[in-house]
Amino acid sequence: MKRILVAAFAIGMLASGASFAEDDHSKMHEMMMKQGGGQPDDRIELKLPATMKAMQKNMMRMHLDTVSEITAALAANDLQKAAAISKDKLGWSPAEEQRCTKVSEMTGEKDFVSLGKAVHMKADELSEAAKAGNRDKALEHLASLIKNCNSCHAKFRH
Ligand code: HEC
């Protein structure tokens, strides 16, 4: 009897698992259609060599990590730490300028520098607000900074 119960339970789990998967699939489809699925990706392609693309994406993942570190420091109310990370890892610097300019020169896309600079300048503003002890302002800058990241993603692709 116990075995039958166990078997019935297992079959029940499998069956519900299968219907979950089906539900997920149709939900995913619905969501993709709502978000303009099936429409062409008409962003500008950055014509860079594969190695440069890999480097750029690596840099991007580091930036996303930095955004997480800044968020964590703000959440912990460690404003000086948030200020330091924002300035040191994401602030506007000769190195960042050189990197953004290089991509711009290689692709002929001038906007790449201005869109990149907007992110880095925002990181400096965030840093200043955090340094001054203004967490609310720092969070506002963080929200704008993330929007600035996506302004470039909306325009360019690999
Ligand atoms: C000036 C342009 C630009 C800015 C600014 C920018 N990105 Fe990107 N990002 C790109 C491009 C181009 C890609 C490659 C997209 C593709 O694969 O088609 C990319 C890809 C990414 C990826 C995917 C990496 C992967 O492994 O595929 C992440 C994550 C990312 N960016 C995070 C960020 C974050 C976080 C910021 C802001 C702090 C940011 N980006 C700002 C241009 C930019």
Q: Pick the residue with more confidence: 147 or 30?
A: 147
Give 13: exposed, middle or buried? Use CB within 10 Å, 0-12, 13-18, 19+: exposed
Each residue's pLDDT tens digit, 47-80? 999 999 999 999 999 999 999 999 999 999 999 9
Yes or no: say if 116 and 157 are a contact pair by the CB < 8 Å rule. no
Give pLDDT, residue 63. 98
Residue 154 to residue 148: CA distance in whole angstroms: 10
pLDDT at residue 116 greater than cutoff 70: yes
Q: Pick the residue with more confidence: 139 or 12?
A: 139
Clarify whether residues 135 and 67 are in a common domain.
yes
- Ligand 1 nearest-atom number relative to CA 146: 37
Clarify whether residues 128 and 67 are in a common domain.
yes
Parallel, antiparallel or unpaired: strands 44-45 and 156-157: parallel
> Hey, which of 110, 153, 158 would you mutate to test ligand 1's pocket, going by the most ligand atoms within 8 Å of its Cβ?
153
Give the residue, by CA position, lying nearest to ligand 1 atom 28.
60
Residue 141 to residue 148: CA distance in whole angstroms: 10
Half-sphere exposure of 83 (CA within 13 A, CB side): 13
**Number of folded domains that form the chain:** 2
User: Residue 63: which domain range?
Assistant: 44-157
Give pLDDT, residue 91. 98
